[in-house]
Every structure is written in C-alpha cells, then in structure tokens.
Structure 1
Amino acid sequence: MTSSSTLVVPVEIRNALLERAREGAPEEICGVFGGECDPAPDGRSRVRSQYPAENVAEAPRTRYRIAPEEQLAIFEELEGDGEDIVGFYHSHPEGPSAPSETDAAQATWPDRSYLIVSLEPLEVGSWRWREDEAGGRFERERLILE
C-alpha cells in the first residue's frame, strides 16, 4: 500500500547507510533517524541526523533489535539536540528493501518512517507504520534525496 507521506533524506546520510550496510554484511545494521517529523498521512518528514545502533538480535543475519537502554540514550541525545524521532533504519543484506513479516510484527512506532537498505538488489525503500483496527500496516512512502 502506498501513502502520500514523504521522507526527505540527505544524500550524505543515504551514502553513509549504504556504506555501513556493506561493512556490516552479512548481518543487518540498524539505527534511528532524528530531524523533523510530520506524522500526518500526507506529512513530509525530514532527516537531519542518523544515530547508528548496535544490532543485538539473537539472529542478526535476519533480524535487528536495538537494546532498550541504547535506544533510550539515542532518544535523549536527539531530543537534547532539538530533534524529533523521525524513524528507524535497518538493512536487508540479502533481501528486498520492503518490510518483512518480522519487521511488521515488531513495528511499534506509529506514523514514523522505517527505511530499509537492501544490498541485493542495491536499493533503499521507505515505509510509514500506520496503526489500524487490524493492528497496523506499513505504507510505502516517497523517498526524496537531497
């Protein structure tokens, strides 16, 4: 499903994520985006910074998880810098840039962006998590590089 929301990402941040995903393969990398968040269905969120996190998942080749303590520290840092929590990113070293069933089952931040870096094929996709009567779903959003 496609929404009319947009995520604006600086090219330098996209390039840094691609490099980190290549270096982290075959395991998934992950982190948090800071910036300006517009949670409206047609909202335009803007990434200003990215906060890399350690992937502490039990199976890091196919899952990602940020330790709660590290996530809280990142949230405090970005909020201290006057930024909103725009969303999260992770990689799929051997899969598509679309959310997996596990990604959907673990998504907990409504109206935030989830950017996925795929290495095979090399592409980047962005999705908004929307809560609904069925629990929730990802909607593809426009990704603008600047």
Structure 2
Amino acid sequence: MKLRRQDLEQIFEQSRTEYPDECCGILTAPTVDEPSQVHRCRNIQNELHAKDPQQYPREARIAYFIDPQQLYQIVAGAEKKGEVVTGFYHSHIDCDAYFSDEDKERAMAWDEPAYPDAVYVVVSVYGDEVRNTKAFGWNEESRDFVDVEIDIVD
C-alpha cells in the first residue's frame, strides 16, 4: 500500500475532525503499486443505530458503516476509470490501532475477503492527537489479516 504523505495527513485530519466518532473512507489507485487516492466517506452508524438498535447495537463512537451510496459511487467510479480499490480506512477512538473481530467480519464475504487485495488502515485517535496507525492485509496462507507496511511517498 502506497500513500502520499499529504493523503495520510488528510486521513489524520478527518480522524481528528470527526472525533469522537469513527471516521471512514476508501482508497483507490490506477494499480495496487501506485499511491492511493483518499475518498472521505460518511459514517452512517449512528443513523442505523437510531433506526434499528437491535440490528445495529453500536454507535459511531465504536463502529463505522460507510454510506452504501458513497461506496457504490466510489467503487463504480474507480472501475469506470480502470482503477482498483486499494483499501479502506477508519479510526479507533481512544484506543490503539488494531484490526478488531468486527473489522475482520465486515471485511469478509462468505469466508473470503470481499476485497482480497485491499489494505485496511486503522488510525488511533485520542481527541486531537493521532497516536498510531497500522495497516492490515489478507494473507492467503494464514487465512487471516496480518500487519502490512504503509509505504509513505512524498
């Protein structure tokens, strides 16, 4: 996963701005070997929770749900331009950057990764301070998500 420094800073800024709720977004690029472009998305978790708290028991402070219309528009737009989804990102509020069981569950479809080449970036934010960032990618051999490096380019 390659990210331009200014794009990573854009993710950090979104994380701080949307605090105390989790932020989220999608990353696309012409190929997986090129720097990704950031697409900020709207976290609709609070709306889902308000409509159906049994199905969506978590609020946006501890969960995210990308607006499905935005997801469709960004993915379809990337495909139309011959680009690929290189990843997704979200923030964790007042805790470390890790790939939670819920994160894994949402990244999967029928026991396979929905986007097998995508990297999932998690930003740890405490108030206006970004404390840590980690990235996770699918490892076919272990059949699990593992730590991967973010290659920051200028």
Distance in 1, matches of 2:141 and 2:44, equals: 29
Q: Residue deviations 1:80-138, cap 9 Å, x none?
A: 333211010111121211111111121132231001111146121111034578xx421
Q: Which residue of 1 aligns with 2:12?
A: 18
Q: Which has the higher helix share?
A: 2
Instruction: Return the TM-score normalized by structure 2.
Output: 0.76
**Bigger strand share:** 1
Q: Distance in 1 between matches of 2:61 and 2:11?
A: 17
Q: Structure 1: 5+ residue runs without aligned partners?
A: 1-6, 39-44
116, 126, 131: which one pairs with 1:122?
Answer: 131
Task: Give the % identical residues.
Answer: 24
Contact 1:111 1:130 in 2 (8 A): no
Q: TM-score, normalised by structure 1?
A: 0.80
Alpha-carbon displacement from aligned partner over 1:1-26 (angstroms, at most 9, x marks no partner): xxxxxx11100100000011000000
Distance 1:61 1:132, change over 3 A: farther
- Hey, what does 1:75 align to over in structure 2? 75
Unpaired segments ≥5 residues, structure 2? 50-58, 109-114
Does 2:144 correspond to 1:137? yes
In the alignment of these two chains, the number of paired residues is: 132
